[in-house]
Amino acid sequence: MSQPLEGSEVHRPGLHSRMWERVGSRTRKLKLRTRFILAFVLTTLVLSGLLTVAVFALTRQNLLDGRENDALATVGFNASSVSRRLRPETGSEALQNLVNTLATPEGSRPVLRVGDDWFQQSFEFESGNINERLRRTVESGRPAQMRYRVRDKPFLVVGIPIPGLNASYYEATPLDEIEDTLGSLGIILAGASGAVTLVSAGVGFWASRRLLRPLVDIGEAAQSIARGNLSTRLEAGTAQELVALTDSFNTMVGALQNRIARDERFASEVSHELRSPLMTLSASVEVMNTRRAELPERARTALDLLTEDVNRFEHLVEDLLEISRFDVGTAELDPDLFTLLEFVQNAVSISSPTDIPIICDPTTARVRVRADKRRLVQVIDNLVSNAQKYAGGATSVVLMRRGREIEIIVEDAGPGVAAEEREHIFDRFSRGRQGGERGASTGVGLGLALVAEHVRLHKGRVWCENRPDGRSGARFVVRLPIVVP
């Protein structure tokens, strides 16, 4: 089996695709406004970068071409002058004087080779600084030019052979001035590109706010409606393109508000209408119970079932009336100031036929709260009754203080509540997985819904969790703020 060579890159299928998937997922997590600004800035950065590179390259080429043309003209003139004045019998002193008198308008450094002798005007550029490849090309009889650095200084070196005399003429033109000019130009262009990018970021931020403001308004309106504020509406604004969307949104919210209002009025009116016949029915059942001893066995059984269902129906109507008050927004708190431990003890004794231990540390025992007693009694009664129906009764009620909040915890030793049902059991008419096992004595799924509504009215929250000791059972936690004078 062949092995990859050391240092070679091994291609792994799917590696690049996974990398781009991760990049794409991170990009999707960014906010729309951030992505808009990034796209704006990146586009400007790319365009300004391309423009900077193009301007720099063109300027550099023009400056170098201009200096090269001037240098070639000077070198050609000086080479012609040397060729005319050079004779085989010319001595070394005359040759040096000839080199010293050559014109150097660009500050160039002439170097003359005659046979094996070299003559230069300046020691800044000497014969030893001539590139070997350039020298071989010129000595072969062809003119040549080359750009390179000597002692960290850029030069354009041009060499021209002088035929018939075994001589060649070189001239080195310094390019440091052009290099300094290009360096300054590069700094200016980079600064201008950065400034343009920053300006584009500001413009992109302003444009994103202006363009995405309607979407932000729609999102805020949707959140407000989700929180129950059905009076929220969108303003049409000046954008004609959004008029249809705004009108449709407002129409939809209006229709939803009317539908919910009709449903709430219907539930409230039905509950009120049921109270009168229910009271008559309850009175009739009570009268029948007073003559219970005179009834035959089968009639007594039927009367017991009727009494139980009437009582259940009575609780259902009361719960529906209570919920309708929350729906129509008429539910209000009637707060009192009291010691929580004493209150919970009384509420638990009323709600449970058996003694339930109440666990409370000395610090929490002195906590006084301001709350609606009637609603808090109903919260405790529903939680204790719920434990009695589905878990064989509550095992303990715990009071625990957490900073500026107080927790009322009802624990049981039943089968517990499945994790996927812990949120839904506080929905109306939700009875969980035991709904099909209920008998006539069980409720209809409004108890925990009322608990959630009462706690929410107190600006608290309620949830269900497992017992912290690892035992079987459920743990219902009511957390309320401690509001004291």
Which comes out higher in pLDDT, residue 303 or 377?
A: 377
Domain ranges of the chain: 16-227, 242-328, 335-481
Q: Would you state the pLDDT for residue 36? A: 75
Q: How far is residue 327's CA from residue 399's CA, in Å, rounded to a whole number? A: 30
pLDDT tier, 5 (very low <50, low <70, confident <90, very high otherwise):
very low
Nearest to 430 by CA among 440, 417, 447, 445: 445
pLDDT score of 90: 75
Kindly report the backbone phi and psi dihedral angles of residue 228, in degrees, each rounded to the nearest multiple of 5, phi listed first: 105, 0
334-373: string of b/e by CB count within 10 Å (b at 16+)?
Answer: eeeeeebbebbbebbeebbeeebeeebeeebeeeebebbe
For strand 358-360 and strand 335-339, is the pairing parallel, antiparallel, or unpaired?
unpaired
Most confident residue range from 4-13, 280-289, 394-403: 394-403
Pair 399, 369: CB distance under 8 Å: no
Mean pLDDT for 169-196 is 88
According to the model, what pLDDT value does residue 204 have?
A: 79
Mean pLDDT of 247-258: 81
Model confidence band, residue 86 (pLDDT cutoffs 50, 70, 90): confident
Determine the average pLDDT of the residues in 458-474: 89
Rounded distance between C-alpha atoms, residue 359 and residue 337, angstroms = 22
**Tokens coding 179:** 């290099």
DSSP lists the bridge partners of residue 407 as 400, 479
Range 263-282 burial, b when 16+ CB lie within 10 A, else e: ebeebbeebeebeeebeebe
- Residue 271 has a pLDDT of 65
Instruction: Report whether pLDDT(434) > 70.
Output: no
How would residue 38 be classed by pLDDT, with cut points 50, 70 and 90?
A: confident
Task: Give the lowest-confidence range in 134-138, 254-258, 272-276, 446-450.
Answer: 272-276
pLDDT band at 443 (very low <50, low <70, confident <90, very high): low
Q: Which CATH number fits domain 242-328: 1.10.10.10, 3.30.420.40, 1.10.287.130, 1.10.1740.10?
A: 1.10.287.130
Q: Which two tokens stand for residue 337?
A: 């100031």
331 by DSSP, 3-state: which? coil
For 371-381, how does the pLDDT look when each residue is reduced to its tens digit (9 = 90+)? 999 999 999 99
Q: Who wins on pLDDT, 428 or 138?
A: 138
Q: What is the pLDDT, as a whole number, of residue 12?
A: 47
Q: Do domains 16-227 and 242-328 have the same CATH topology?
A: no
The dihedral of CA 234, 238, 244, 247: what is its sign? positive
Other Cβ atoms less than 10 A from the Cβ of 394: the count is: 28
CATH number of 16-227: 3.30.450.20
Confidence category of residue 345, pLDDT binned at 50, 70, 90: very high
Which stretch of DSSP H or E encloses residue 158? strand 153-162
> Lowest-pLDDT range, 37-46, 223-232, 288-297?
223-232
- The pLDDT, as a whole number, for residue 98 is 85
Share of the chain above pLDDT 70, in %: 86
Residue 437 has pLDDT above 90, yes or no: no
Backbone CA torsion sign across 28, 31, 36, 38: negative
For position 379, what pLDDT does the model report?
93
Query: Residue 224 in contact with residue 236, Cβ under 8 Å?
Result: no
CB of 426 closer than 8 Å to CB of 382:
no
pLDDT of res. 9 = 40
pLDDT at 30: 58
Instruction: Identify whether the C-beta of residue 477 lies closer than 8 Å to the C-beta of residue 452.
Output: no
Q: Give per-residue burial for 407-437: e unless 16+ CB within 10 Å, then b.
A: ebbbbbbbebbeeebbeebbeeebbbeeeee
Which among 237, 234, 207 has a CA at the least distance from the CA of 218? 234
Q: What is the pLDDT of residue 193?
A: 86
How far is CA 209 from its chain centroid? Answer: 17
Residue 257: burial class (beta carbons within 10 Å; 0-12, 13-18, 19+): middle
Helix or strand holding residue 223 (H, E): helix 176-226
Q: What's the pLDDT band for 396 if we cut at 50, 70, 90?
A: very high
In the chain, the N- to C-terminal Cα span, in Å, equals 85
Place of tokens 């229709």: 255
d(CA 67, CA 311): 108
More confident call, 318 vs 471: 471
What is the reported pLDDT for 100?
Answer: 85
Q: What is the pLDDT of residue 282?
A: 82
Contact 316, 444 (CB under 8 A): yes
Alpha-carbon Rg of the chain, whole angstroms? 48
- Check residue 293 and give its pLDDT: 82
C-alpha count within 13 angstroms, C-beta hemisphere, residue 152:
0
- pLDDT higher than 80, residue 218: no
Predicted model pTM: 0.49
> 335-481 has which fold?
Heat Shock Protein 90 (3.30.565)
What is the model's pLDDT at position 439? Answer: 44
Q: What is the pLDDT of residue 357?
A: 92
- In the predicted model, what is the mean pLDDT of the chain? 81
Residue 187 predicted with pLDDT over 60: yes
pLDDT band, very low/low/confident/very high, at 21 (cuts 50, 70, 90): low
Give residue 10's pLDDT: 40
Position 20 scores a pLDDT of 43
